[in-house]
Structure 1
Amino acid sequence: MKQEDTNPQNKINFTAYYSKDYGNVYLGNTLELIKFIPDDSVNLILTSPPFALTRKKEYGNESAEKYIEWFLPFAREFKRVLAPDGSFVLDLGGAYLPGFPVRSIYQYELLVTLCKEVGFYLAQEFYHYNPSRLPTPAEWVTVRRIRVKDSVNVVWWLSKTPHPKANNRKVLKPYSKSMKQLLKRGYKAKLRPSGHDISNKFQKDNQGAIPPNLLELANTESNSAYLRRCKQEGVKPHPARFPSAFAEFFIKFVTDEGDVVLDPFSGSNTTGFVAETLKRRWTSFEINEDYILGSRYRFEDI
């Protein structure tokens, strides 16, 4: 898809930097590019924006003090373009207050603002657990040893109305060995000591277990073809990439084939790559051209 702005007062040329069968990548500022997206037209906004970290990162990030003010213009546009039954999934890392071993609460302040001021609903909170994350911040974890390793990002699943489209049958997990044995030998209905009444419906084979809202997803990007190709071509890769399994979970959970997925801070374009493999129409915005150049290598094996 290649479109040009017909408004002479707008100098932005909405032309794809590169295109694939199901989607397009655009280079530029999201607040300018998103103006070309019609109201109520996106089924899923899935993104991990720059976090509010104590130290500045090369991909650009705001301080915790300024983060909500910075994010609000984006949030209002996200609500405009989101379909009535669409979902907005926001992956946010935590931060410590500068110079102190106590946490910033910017994520929670942002959540309240998104719900109270912008008008989103909190469908459910998730926790993105990466067991292989390095022990940071080093000052408090490995030097003074007064804190433990931070291995979880909070993920806000937000919606425009109280009833976003979703189906957990699409993201069932394989049954555990004990559950398989239980299904095989049967289960006698009884009242547990906790007071839960476990009926005989418990032994029904649903072809998998309903996943929890703790997503344990190790990031294996360090061995990925994307990084190898970036190194071969001398292209700088994005330094903070979420795993493909993270995007896959939410795209399967809340969208169907042919639905529209938007990542407004796409980085190395993991979201677009997964959406392409799952036959969703997708759009990705990225302001750093080096990251877009490297993101092309994700699609070489499709």
Structure 2
Amino acid sequence: MTSFQHAQGDLFEHMLEAYSDKGGTLSNAELYRDLGARAGIPADAWDEQLDLGPDQPGHSVLKRKVRWWQQSLRKLGLLERDEASGRGFWRITPAGRRKLTPATPGRVLLGFSTDLGVALWADANDVFPTLDAPIALCLSSLPYPLSRPRAYGNPTSHEFVDWTIRLLEPITKHLMPGGSICLNLSNDIFEPGSPARSDYLERLVIALKDRLGLWKMALDPWVNLTKPPGPIRWASITQQQLNVAWEPVYIFCNDPVLWMARNQRVLEPHSERHLAFVRGGGAKRAKSNGDGAYRLYPGSFGRETAGRIPKNVRILPHRCADKDRARKMAIAQGLPVHAATMPLKLAQFYIEYLTERGQVVVDPCSGWGTTALAAELAGRHWVTTEYMGEYVLGSSNRFLAAPGFELFGGLQLTA
């Protein structure tokens, strides 16, 4: 089976996610674009028509499949027509949305634990002000300030700075000298009704320095060449913006002089060409480049090292094998799928770069526990909070083989 055929086969699985992620209601035209982006189907494939003969009009096989699945989901009670929005609009039903259960204010429940960490079902602000542990790293993918919130909700771009300050303030107070705050955010947020990008990121960087004393240490692009085309409105419809293929990863520190980052912990293998150059004795003669800014001398680069220092660009797809396994298990258990999780390798890189074994890593917006899993695999202690109980339960599937794993009764939720 070709990858394109696989993509078509995945469409049914993607449909409820599409409606849920986009706020519940979609026109068919919006649905086709969203499904195509999720499954990697070219835009022109939706317009390919099957010729039924001289007396019958052709039709799109893909669109016909989607409409058939809409009817199937309607019969299951998971989808319904949204007549108020107009012809061709459908919306997800409460049963299809698989309602999320928020934590009770002021109540902290133990979700699951391992020998290295603990996952809590709670509001982060009910946990971190009283956490008595020195934190080496807070690594989190915060809810993006989308104009149409996902199922778990999010602050708006104008609320985001104050919301983030409240979230991070108690964590910063427990941050070790030289500890880090590492945030995966979105630069694809726009002013309402405008192709102008929001300046919420710039305002956040300044607020973190002025209000929490956190210094900006790095801005690393996470390049995701499999990212769905977007922003749909400003790139595909008005055709003004370019499709976005990266997201920012910001790193902040409370004491730059004592910053615990070490690039030697994340060295990459040298290329065979470079190794041959080194083992051949390095540079053979003196050479000057860039008007003398760069100079080589005989023997330069002639000493073999443990590896090369990584560039500050992470090139990773958003999907990974571990996340796909968690997704399939959640679907099998009737749990809602979390559609906004970072790849495991991204979290692993920053945990190994910014911390040492045995130190504590936290995530106040844990989602499906990617930060926790990366910390577990790297031998770091971890503490996470997640506001939605179904996500805590879904993330526990990723830790079943972890030493000391224990799932607690408070998470026996009804999907």
Q: TM-score, normalised by structure 2?
A: 0.67
What is the RMSD computed on CA atoms of the aligned residues? 1.8
Distance in structure 1 (CA, Å) of the matches to 2:401 and 2:107: 30
1:36 counterpart residue number: 130
2:209 counterpart residue number: 115
Partner SS state of residue 236, structure 2: helix
Cα separation, partners in 2 of 1:176 and 1:33, compared to 1, 3 Å:
same
Q: Which runs of 5+ in 1 are unaligned?
A: 1-10
1:3 counterpart residue number: none
Query: Which has the larger displacement, 268-277 or 194-203?
Result: 194-203
Q: Is the 8 A contact 2:361 2:380 kept in 1?
A: yes
Encode CA deviations 1:210-243: one digit per residue, 9 max, x unaligned: 1111111112247721111111111112110000
Partner SS state of residue 224, structure 1: helix
Correspondence list, 1:252-263, <5 A:
252-263=352-363
Q: Is the 8 A contact 2:116 2:380 kept in 1?
A: yes
Q: CA deviation at 1:201?
A: 4.2
Choose 1 or 2 for highest CA Rg.
Answer: 2
Q: CA deviation at 1:202?
A: 2.6
Distance in structure 1 (CA, Å) of the matches to 2:179 and 2:192: 37
Cα separation, partners in 2 of 1:12 and 1:96, compared to 1, 3 Å:
closer
Q: CA deviation at 1:145?
A: 2.2
Return the match for 1:79 from 172, 176, 188: 172
Q: Is the 8 A contact 2:137 2:179 kept in 1?
A: yes
Encode CA deviations 1:248-297: one digit per residue, 9 max, x unaligned: 11111111111000011100000101111111110010000111111011
Q: Is the 8 A contact 1:14 1:36 kept in 2?
A: no
Encode CA deviations 1:46-82: one digit per residue, 9 max, x unaligned: 0111111222221211111111122221222121011
Whichever residue aligns with residue 118 of structure 2, its letter is: N
1:287 counterpart residue number: 387
Q: Is the 8 A contact 1:221 1:227 kept in 2?
A: no
Encode CA deviations 1:120-151: one digit per residue, 9 max, x unaligned: 11122211111110011111222232211112
2:326 counterpart residue number: 226
- The sequence identity of aligned pairs, in percent, is 27
Matched, 1:237 2:337: yes
Aligned length: 291
Cα separation, partners in 2 of 1:198 and 1:115, compared to 1, 3 Å:
farther
Distance in structure 1 (CA, Å) of the matches to 2:313 and 2:283: 27
Q: Which runs of 5+ in 2 are unaligned?
A: 1-104, 403-415
Q: CA deviation at 1:181?
A: 3.1
Q: CA deviation at 1:298?
A: 1.1
Query: Which has the larger displacement, 206-215 or 196-205?
Result: 196-205
Whichever residue aligns with residue 241 of structure 2, its letter is: R
Q: Is the 8 A contact 1:75 1:114 kept in 2?
A: no
Q: Is the 8 A contact 2:140 2:184 kept in 1?
A: yes
Distance in structure 2 (CA, Å) of the matches to 1:235 and 1:74: 27
Whichever residue aligns with residue 268 of structure 1, its letter is: W
Q: Is the 8 A contact 2:109 2:122 kept in 1?
A: no
Matched, 1:192 2:289: yes
Query: RCO higher in 1 or 2 (8 Å CA, sep ≥ 6)?
Result: 1
Matched, 1:269 2:369: yes
